[in-house]
A and B are shown apart, each in its own frame.
Chain A
Amino acid sequence: MARKIDVVFSDFQPGSALRAALGMTPTSVIELVTKSKLRGRGGAGFPTGLKWDAARSHRSDDKFIICNADEGEPGTFKDKNILEKQTAKVIEGMAIGAYAIGASKGFIYLRGEYKYLVKDLMKKIEELKSQNLIGKDICREKGFCFDVDIKLGSGSYVCGEETALIESLESKRGEPRNKPPYPAEAGYLGQPTVVNNVETLSFIPHILLNGAEWFQQFGTEKSTGSKLFSVSGDCRKPGIYEFEFGITIRELLKEIDADPDTKAVQIGGASGFCACSDDFDKPICFEGIPTGGSIIVFNKSRSMFMVLKNFVEFFQEESCGQCVPCREGCSRMLEGIEKFEQGRGSSKTINDLLELSTTMSLASKCGFGQSVPNSFRTIASKFKDEILSAGGGEVWRS
């Protein structure tokens, strides 16, 4: 039985974890994070320790650590809260990362819409500087310098993808790069760079203070620790929750007091997966249904066709436009879906779109285009009749 827990928003003494880290070698800090099996909370779930280790192994005098606060997935709003309420914890996570990989400069890449946070963040940065928790010779550790700057995004969804984020940070158009090289080898200004999600960074100080075993007691074998969820939709108690990884959808729905006639749950936002009642006993974790934290609940009154159309419209607009499968695929997918509304769609249309989905997932340049078809595939298979009858008439079965 999964538990509701409270790590991310728990009390924290600024500097305590950083001092613990400075008492260790950078390599042993990375070993500790690796041992905790912490995985990126942005959605992709890449092991944080491995990322840090890769950045550490590439030699350079200029390395960077970037806090990815470009929270753009429809239905997520947890990073904003973490940054508002646990600023020191996140920055301390960055400082520990900087110490581990050998960086002296960090950026918080903040979603443009979160501009109102800048003033408070700057104030906090100054405060931490005056406490010698960032800046020069941090914690009186000779030679360990780390400064943090804030950069605002300009409203592009794809800039949450780490290489597009780096391009944007370099004042270029926010378009994902070819990988390899990965940012850990050649990121910001071509230098080794680590990009970590806000939530990921907020776990770091706790791991330093409590150890890898402590962290591993939460969650599942491959998804250790807890996860924040941004819950919205048809439920009594929307908001931000922290649950252990492995919680089943049914358990989660109970916690948030979802409508009894819940018919679908969108897990992981527009680029995530749609679960229907058959899936409700599946666990939410990287080995089950993965998520960056967005949970949207739909009751029986909702049209899954409209849900799907809304998602695809979003993607068509937010595709960065550089690669063909994603740019053209999103447009053709939306056109295909609109056919159903016009009463011109058939099972063949669905099959054509499924084939398109396969190409988009296989051949798109970045994770954006690769994950666009997730919602189509899951909604179209689980709610096929709703799609086929979207025009209001009889269900097409050609």
Chain B
Amino acid sequence: MAELRITINGASYKALDGMTILDVCRREGIHIPTLCNHPDLQTRGICRICVVDVKGSKTLQAACSTPVEAGMVISTTTDRVRKSRKTIVELLLANHYTDCTVCPKNLNCELQSLANEFGLTDLRWKERRERTIPQDDSSPVFIRDNNKCVLCQRCVRACDEMQGVYAVANLFKGDSMIVGSAFNKPIGEVVCINCGQCVAHCPTGALSEKYCIEDIWKAIDDPKKVVVVQTAPAIRAALGEEFGYPAGTRVTGKMASALRTMGFDYVFDTQFAADLTIMEEGYELLGRLRSALTGGEAPALPMTTSCSPGWIKFQEHFFPELLPNVSTCKSPQQMFGAVVKSFWAGKMGIDPENIVCVSVMPCTAKKFESIRPEMARNGRPDVDYVLTTRELAVMIKQAGIDLHDMKNSTFDNPLGESTGAATIFAASGGVMEAALRTAYEVVTGREVPFKNLDISPVRGMDGVREASIKINGAQKDWSFLEGVELKVLVAHGTANAKKVMNAVREGTMAAHFIEIMTCPGGCLGGGGQPLPGTPEIRLARAKAIYEEDADSPLRKSHENPSVKKLYEDFLGAPNSHLAHELLHTHYTARGQY
């Protein structure tokens, strides 16, 4: 790319051909307010709050969508820039239902910040917008309040570009324009995978998850109930952001203390179930490979992971004929609930009826997963309530706790014990890495041939990543794998998954095992994580996750003593009859219409 020079506010800067004015300003620390712009999404240039003055141009230009040109002279502070930006904020507020103090986005709303930035003291254009459009609460996981929508189309783009679902689009035109679904149907009646990326990309309170905070307080306050909580791996690397810690701060120990202080009876860890998942899923994969390579019944290969409930629903809608390829393993959240209400309840002598299983997830789709009918036993759901990371932060604050004041503590045992392999479930590629660490060792009796167990080819943020590992020295039971090059593939974001699954459908996919995570970067970029979520923040969270793994005394799922004991005392062996009954599931072909 050719280098060129431009002038901004009187100073000369280097720029590259293809950069936008906003790119250069960001790099140079020149503040430009933005709203419809998001680093995860393609540029639309529609809110116009980023307008700047370009010499020679009659009108103002949107910094986000205007490419730099050699010799361009830009001013970001002229009278007409200031006035136009301020008017735009006023226009947005005039058509915004403003109930900030009781809005879920209070103090974390980009429109509120803009109002503050421009020092607005009154609204010239309209006294006050009322709630004229009914809220759409038809989704099982989130609420759309179009009275607060600024039509930035970030949700539309996230759903389309990142997820390939396109559940929402612009409807109508002019002042009637709204964001909605095909034929203006409620979101609950169209194809939606509940991933919450729309919620995570909404700058205002137009989209928010459905809270279950009060139900949980009620359970905690009920002396008859034994309330257990499990926290997903991705929470510990992100919760701190809600309390002002920099992104990537690990708050595992503080979080455990906070949960205990809040009144949860047992503070467990979803990571225990993640290790368990690796055992079940690893053996399932090896079983499928055995069938395929020893001429048994032709199994569905490649096998895909099943941890990510957005991806599961995506598959059910878009690739129903490939559901046999999905691992039958429940997700760690659901395995955990099933173990708590069977094994642990028996061990503790507690009536499962009195156990309330709460999980804290970086995810909105987990809320839907927990209410799927197949995720219950004897009419009792495995998991009773699912909180997002953001909801947990609200609860901690409601309890008068400042995370900074918490001392480090550990999870309760036995369902709080885990390995580094479980921690990395939070990152895209992590399930694959954990599975390979175990599967390779089960087959060969030796550790995976990667330095420090770090299987770096499956790590990173590229949308689709491939790797392979050659099996040498397979033990007797696994001799059919001798010399086999095990091919694996990792994808995140269901738009990427769609490409991958199209290749599977067409029969051009070489991989044996595919990990798919619904959200960017994996669970650490989930729809329930603290806001904002940007590529930079996700990288910081991933770094924290891999550090936590590196610091763990145990880093292979099959070495988790509590998991081993669970098999010895209760389940028997991986993929046993009881394991199947408790830890595996089936799927529903849904189609798109």
Contact = CB atoms under 8 A, between A and B. Distances in A.
Nearest to A314: B174
Nearest to B177: A321
B554 to A, nearest CB: 52
Contacts of B48: 323-325, 363-365
Nearest to B170: A173
A259 interface: no
A116 to B, nearest CB: 24
Contacts of B43: 178
B94 interface: yes
Interface string A259-270: 000000000000
A327 B174 contact: yes
B420 interface: no
B125 interface: yes
Task: For chain A, give the interface size range.
Answer: 35 or more
A6 interface: no
Given A363-B59, A364-B48, A156 B126 contact: no
Interface residues of B, number: 37
B95 A355 contact: no
A378 interface: no
A322 B150 CA distance: 10
B315 interface: no
Interface string A311-337: 000011111111111011111100110
A175 B173 CA distance: 10
B46 interface: yes
B84 interface: yes
Nearest to B86: A359
A328 B94 contact: yes
A352 to B, nearest CB: 6
B371 to A, nearest CB: 35
A331 B174 CA distance: 9
Contact of A362 (B51, B65, B124, B172): B51
- Interface of A, helix, strand, loop or mixed by DSSP: helix
Interface string B152-174: 01000000000000000110111
A180 B57 CA distance: 13
Contact of B175 (A156, A316, A359, A363): A316
A373 B396 CA distance: 51
A370 interface: yes
Contacts of A324: 46-49, 88, 91-92, 150-151
A322 B62 CA distance: 14
Contacts of B124: 352
A5 interface: no
A361 B87 CA distance: 12
Nearest to B173: A321
A287 B50 CA distance: 31
Nearest to B175: A331
B60 interface: yes
Contacts of A355: 83, 87
Contacts of B94: 328, 332
Interface string B65-100: 111000000000000100110011001101100000
Contact of B91 (A173, A321, A325): A325
B527 interface: no
Interface in B401-425: none
Contact of B45 (A327, A358, A365): A365
Given A321-B172, A328-B92, A361-B59, A335 B125 contact: yes
B586 to A, nearest CB: 38
B45 to A, nearest CB: 5
Contacts of A156: 173
Nearest to A178: B65
Interface in B206-236: none
A356 interface: yes
15 contacts: A173-B169, A178-B43, A178-B62, A178-B65, A178-B66, A319-B175, A320-B177, A321-B151, A323-B46, A324-B46, A324-B47, A324-B92, A328-B94, A362-B80, A364-B48
Interface of B: 43-49, 51, 59-60, 62, 65-67, 80, 83-84, 87-88, 91-92, 94-95, 124-126, 150-151, 153, 169-170, 172-177
Given A321-B172, A322-B151, A363-B60, 5 more contacts: A318-B173, A336-B125, A355-B87, A359-B83, A362-B60
